[in-house]
Structure 1
Amino acid sequence: MTNNPDVSVVMAVYNGQQYVEESINSILSQSYSNFEFIIVDDGSNDLTSQILLDAQSKDKRIFLITNETNKGISYSLNSAIAISRGEYIARMDSDDIAISNRLELQLEFLRKHSECVIVGGKIEVIGDSAHTVEINQFSDWYNQHSHSEDIKKAIIYR
């Protein structure tokens, strides 16, 4: 793993062979590179394990945890966070594609706004042909209700 990473990117994946390679590559090609990437294979029984091993062999920032059986996303992410060494945690889903400067933008914002403890971003839902299907509506809600107290109340349900 990377020495003294600023960010620990954590991902849990279960049977994600269709999207996980593109998801991993979107993190590995970030404009900000001082991160470790902790990926939990949550008992996959498809080609996910091989894809993860191949990715790890190509990039020293990747650390793999393998659950022998499917234990669920919360358990898996908590396992990754437990060994993380970064000052910040970045959460990534195995079927998401991060924009190329996601980590840089989020880290810059958090460093400038020490009163903030969590950041997110809008998402676009894309189909198999890589075109935008919809802009996620709950991220629009957060833009309209950016007051801290509104978000604290709503985050339980959204």
Structure 2
Amino acid sequence: MAFSVLMSVYAREQPAFLDAALHSLAGQLEPAEQVVLVKDGPLTPELEAVIESFVGRLPLDICALSTNQGLAVALNEGLKFCRHDWVARMDSDDVALPERFVVQAAFLAKHPDVDVLGACIEERDVSMRRVLALREVPCAHADIKRFAKRRSPMSHPVVVFRKAAVLAVGGYPLFQRAQDYALWSLMLVRGYRFANQAECLLWMRTGEGLMARRGYQYFLNELRLLRFQREIGLLGWSDYVLNVTARFILRVAPSRLKQLIYHVAR
């Protein structure tokens, strides 16, 4: 299966993390035919050096934005450079396991009706040495659609999607955060087919302070997303009210309680 990888990087990211992410792409058992790397604004010399070191090792196509535009804009611009029908997402600080694309390509070959495919991921500490949580998601389309009314049903860094399907709904909605969740919501409403695999195919670099940093300002971003989900018809009125209430309580809760809820939910 021919596919492109789509990744974005910006100036505040760590060169060592980008190196690990690109190295994991270079070590795939089924390598990508194209890796589209979007420079979301000017990068540091150290990040540029990492990218340069992979020229010739990866089939890199660079899309350079003159200023930092944010992830949604960067990914939409990068999609214009993707030459293949299938696009695999990857974040610039995560590590794809060597069998990732082999497993995903085999699944898509057997399920030609699927438009968006994800998998489980391990959330690890910054060093990637310690597992913090296993992020499990429902596998069947009907379960994914139900799950989407409460939380994002797809783990964005491990997703593979049909490019034409994403472009048909206008690309990533221009949200500051959770642009992927907004996209899945829109595609589910439009009738596109989703699936997840039970295998863990990626390590996600998160750190233990993730939930503690998600306070009231984060809730305001979630509220914008919930309004969007209500407007497009994913959420009914009762689902909308329940989500707003639950998320508000979670975001203003003490850090220890947030951490406990987060680990139970995962």
- Sort the Cα spacing of 1:154 and 1:110 in 2 relative to 1 into closer, same or farther, 3 A: same
Q: With structure 1 as the length reference, what TM-score do the two structures score? A: 0.82
Residue 150 of structure 1 aligns with an amino acid whose one-letter code is D
Give the superposition deviation at 1:29.
1.2
DSSP-derived class of the 2:23 partner: helix
What is the RMSD of the two structures over their aligned residues, measured on CA atoms? 2.0
DSSP-derived class of the 2:7 partner: strand
Match of 1:77 among 54, 71, 75: 75
Q: Does 1:114 align with 2:108?
A: no
Match of 1:94 among 92, 110, 113: 92
Runs (5+) with no aligned partner, structure 2: 153-266
Give the superposition deviation at 1:54.
2.5
Match of 1:59 among 44, 50, 57: 57
Conserved 8 A contact 2:37-2:62: yes
DSSP-derived class of the 1:63 partner: strand
Give the alignment of 1:1-158 within 5 angstroms. Answer: 6-15=2-11, 16=13, 17-46=15-44, 47-56=46-55, 58-59=56-57, 61-136=59-134, 139-140=135-136, 142-143=137-138, 146-155=139-148, 157-158=151-152
Conserved 8 A contact 2:124-2:133: no
Residue 114 of structure 1 aligns with an amino acid whose one-letter code is P
Give the superposition deviation at 1:34.
4.6
Conserved 8 A contact 1:13-1:44: no
Q: Percent identity?
A: 26
Q: How many residues align?
A: 148
Give the superposition deviation at 1:82.
1.2
| Distance in structure 1 (CA, Å) of the matches to 2:8 and 2:48 | 12
Conserved 8 A contact 2:35-2:58: no
Q: With structure 2 as the length reference, what TM-score do the two structures score? A: 0.51
Structure of greater Rg? 2
Runs (5+) with no aligned partner, structure 1: none
